[in-house]
Amino acid sequence: MLTKTESPEMQTSNAFVHNSAIALHNPTLQIALDRGTTNAVNNRVRAMLETTDANALRAQGRASRLRALHNLPALLEQAEAKLQARGVTILWAVDGAECNQHVIDIAQRHGVHKIAKSKSMATEETHLDHALEAAGLEVVETDLGEFVVQIAHDTPSHIVFPILHMTREQVRDLFVEKLHMPPSDDPEQLTAAAREYMRAQFTSADMGITGANFVIAETGTLAIVSNEGNARMCSSLPRVHVAVVGIEKVIETLDDFATLVQLLTRSATGQRLTSYVQMINGPANDNDSDGPDQMYVIFLDNGRSGIYSTTYAESLACIRCGACLNTCPVYQNVGGHAYGWVYPGPIGAIITPLLTGIHNAAPLPHASSLCGACKTACPVDIDIPDMLLKLRGDLVADGDSDPMVTAGIKAWALASQNPRMFELGGKAASLATRTLAGKDGQIHKLPSLLGNWTQNRDFPPFAKKSFHDLWRDRQSGKSS
């Protein structure tokens, strides 16, 4: 399995427990998370309820994704051929470094100095912005949320809503400081300030960089889903357009696209369709009055092919809607930054270890109570809990586990295969816990690892007589 190791300063996934505790004690973050995820969940539920048959559509969408994944190499080739026939240059990048180098080469080849960029999680994986700036290029993030992240020197905390972790007051303070905007809480004013600033960028950029939500093999089309209009700007105004797309984004036909794009918009933002869905078939035709003269598509692997033939292939079906994040009680409480990399929440807990190396994100598969809300919310019915369980198994099999937990599990397993030992162990625990119980009958403090339980809740003492005892009593009572 090709695993990509992220450089330690960048990824903080292994500090999840520590960072999630910090997040829990951040009142501003808690307010923002509460508002953001509640609205997002309500929007999705409402939008899915009004479809013809939500569960049937999820199954239809899932089947579209799985068919496409089954035929992935052939579909990539088909899309490539169709795009090339219209003058698109197709490049392939095994990893993030190669992707970034491609973009730099393209920029140099075309004398590019200024780049307008719209939202692309794939380019977050590769740290594209940093690489471009290091190469002396000016990059402006044009998506409002990503722009805020950029000027705040922050990172996005959600797949769809990059600044879910920020309150409106925080954005206001930032705009006042960096854009010299007069102080105003009014979101309309904030947006107007961003619009004015960004206009100048769009019309003076030499290159536009976008991602793509889907690549349709049947027609050789990139589909970009957006609301703000900046993705259209980036792919229409500058003379060079570069799209960076994960290889798993390819789907077979326009019919598949119709289902999936609407599942995406309804699940991500609760919209029937976003304000803009742009279908890009190539650079401008010779006679077109506007549009890019040059177009490049970079197919990014970055660890995806390593997931492809494994038991985790289903994770590649993800359409990046963010529904699992919004509905996850863990994400709702700790937000995205605690996960320590590009993709947070339930899907992030799976693909982060798979793409960056399981030992670079060991806590993430455990950052879940396995409640299953994510699977219920997923528009393509990905079995997230199942993959989290498998990853936990992989971690243990690879020796990545807490020795105290391992010792406890070994003891439990031994006792559980031997009824007498099991009952004796129970008797010992009963004696110990009844001794520890306070006047109110509850245990307020347990020793060692179990102290993690009592740090914020009580624990009941074991019963004096187990069910085994009571049953034996009942049986002997009967026979006497």
Q: Find the binding residues for other proteins in span 39-78 (CB under 8 A).
A: 39-40, 50-53, 56-57, 60, 63, 66-67, 69-73, 76-77
Q: Yes or no: say if 23 and 336 are a contact pair by the CB < 8 Å rule.
A: no
Q: Using the minimum distance from each CB to other proteins, give the nearer residue, 47 or 132.
A: 47
C-alpha–C-alpha distance, residues 138 and 112, integer Å:
9
Pairing of strands 294-300, 240-246: parallel
Per-position b or e across 161-174, b if 16+ CB within 10 A of its CB: bbbbbbbeebbbeb
- From 113, 410, 424, 431, residue interacting with other proteins (rule: CB under 8 A): 410
Per-position b or e across 379-409, b if 16+ CB within 10 A of its CB: bbbbebbbbbebbbebbeeeeeeeeeeeeee
Q: Using the minimum distance from each CB to other proteins, give the nearer residue, 413 or 479.
A: 413
Q: Yes or no: say if 174 and 148 are a contact pair by the CB < 8 Å rule.
A: yes
- From 121, 179, 236, 432, residue interacting with other proteins (rule: CB under 8 A): 236
Phi, psi of 8 (to 5 degrees): -55, -35
Q: Yes or no: say if 322 and 161 are a contact pair by the CB < 8 Å rule.
A: yes
Of 123-131, 199-207, 340-348, 349-357, the window that binds other proteins (rule: CB under 8 A) is: 199-207
x-or-dash string of contact with other proteins, 208-227, rule CB under 8 A: -----------x-x-----x
- From 181, 233, 318, 325, residue interacting with other proteins (rule: CB under 8 A): 233
Phi, psi of 233 (to 5 degrees): -60, -50
Of 5-13, 130-138, 164-172, 345-353, the window that binds other proteins (rule: CB under 8 A) is: 164-172
**3, 69, 1: which is closest to 317 by C-alpha?**
69
Of 132-140, 176-184, 195-203, 341-349, the window that binds other proteins (rule: CB under 8 A) is: 195-203
- From 417, 476, 479, 480, residue interacting with other proteins (rule: CB under 8 A): 417
Contacts of other proteins in 12-41 (CB under 8 A): 17, 20-21, 24, 32, 35-36, 39-40
Q: Round the CA-based radius of gyration of the chain to a whole number and report it.
A: 26
Contacts of other proteins in 94-133 (CB under 8 A): 94, 98
445 binds other proteins (CB under 8 A): no
CB of 135 to other proteins, least distance (A): 20
C-alpha–C-alpha distance, residues 202 and 193, integer Å:
15
Q: Using the minimum distance from each CB to other proteins, give the nearer residue, 20 or 100.
A: 20
CB of 403 to other proteins, least distance (A): 13
Per-position b or e across 57-71, b if 16+ CB within 10 A of its CB: bbebbbebbbebbee
Contacts of other proteins in 341-400 (CB under 8 A): 363, 365-373, 375-376, 383, 385-386, 389, 391-397
C-alpha–C-alpha distance, residues 301 and 247, integer Å:
6
Contacts of other proteins in 128-157 (CB under 8 A): 142-145, 148
Of 7-15, 121-129, 191-199, 352-360, the window that binds other proteins (rule: CB under 8 A) is: 191-199
Q: Yes or no: say if 222 and 245 are a contact pair by the CB < 8 Å rule.
A: yes
412 binds other proteins (CB under 8 A): yes
Q: Yes or no: say if 14 and 340 are a contact pair by the CB < 8 Å rule.
A: yes
CB of 257 to other proteins, least distance (A): 8
Q: Using the minimum distance from each CB to other proteins, give the nearer residue, 63 or 135.
A: 63
CB of 8 to other proteins, least distance (A): 22
CB of 136 to other proteins, least distance (A): 20
Size of site (CB under 8 A) for other proteins:
182
- From 100, 120, 150, 235, residue interacting with other proteins (rule: CB under 8 A): 235
Sheet holding 89-93, edge to edge: 89-93, 294-300, 240-246, 207-210, 114-117, 138-141
Residue 200 to residues 126, 150, 233: CA-CA distances in angstroms?
27, 17, 12
C-alpha–C-alpha distance, residues 324 and 263, integer Å:
13
According to DSSP, residue 462 is labeled P
296 binds other proteins (CB under 8 A): no
| Cβ neighbours around 111 below 10 Å, total | 10
Q: Using the minimum distance from each CB to other proteins, give the nearer residue, 14 or 51.
A: 51
Contacts of other proteins in 240-279 (CB under 8 A): 247, 252-255, 257-259, 261-263, 266, 269, 271-279
Q: Using the minimum distance from each CB to other proteins, give the nearer residue, 133 or 288.
A: 288
Of 6-14, 129-137, 298-306, 346-354, the window that binds other proteins (rule: CB under 8 A) is: 298-306
